Amino acid sequence: MIYYAEVAFDLPVEEDTFTYEVPQNTPIGVRVLAKLRNREEEGIIVSIHQNEPNYKVLPVVKIIDKASIVLREQIDLAYWMKDQYIASLGECIYKMIPAGRRQVKLEVFPSDSEGKPVTLSEEQEVATQNILSTFGQTAVHLLFGITGSGKRKCISI
């Protein structure tokens, strides 16, 4: 028997939920990792059913939680909130997740150097030294240059 889950994402989208295939006994209210628009996104299961949709359904990539982190009542409240406020269902649900359960998303930039030491130009060296001289302090620095001029090298050291 195939089970389908309605998953809400913490994104400003018009659709309330997206349908994914899940294993049997997957609880409502758990976080899952699922493909959405060619990216893996974290979402929350808001309902499970066995009604086969008339379109291709992808399976979830990973079930993150073993038990529900939001209650059925919270999901119902999120449906009410989305109708009252200008927000998606997923945005409303994610506001109810305790801070300790939220995952911080880190953006990782690929390394240009592949382990080789970075060689800075004279201007890049001056900019880097200016940035490093204010480390630990509140400061604003503007790196100006065209695309591909090496601004990222100054901040990735």
Q: Sketch the domain layout of the chain as residue ranges.
A: 3-101, 122-155
Query: What is the strand order of the sheet 62-63 is part of?
Result: 18-22, 3-9, 39-49, 31-36, 62-63
pLDDT of residue 141: 78
b/e per residue, 44-68, with b = 16+ CB within 10 A?
A: bbbeeeeeeeeeeeeebeebbeeeb
Find where tokens 């899952």 sit.
32
d(CA 95, CA 34): 20
Element (H, E) at 20: strand 18-22
DSSP annotation of 59 reads: B
Assign 3 a pLDDT band (cuts: 50, 70, 90). very high
Number of Cβ atoms within 10 Å of the Cβ of 146: 7
d(CA 60, CA 7): 10
Question: Which pLDDT tens digit goes with each residue over 7-61?
Answer: 999 999 989 999 999 999 999 999 999 999 889 999 999 999 999 999 999 999 9
Q: Give strand pairing partners of 19.
A: 6
Residue 43 token pair? 């979402």
CATH level 3 topology of 3-101: GIY-YIG endonuclease (3.40.1440)
Name the percent of the chain lying above pLDDT 70.
85
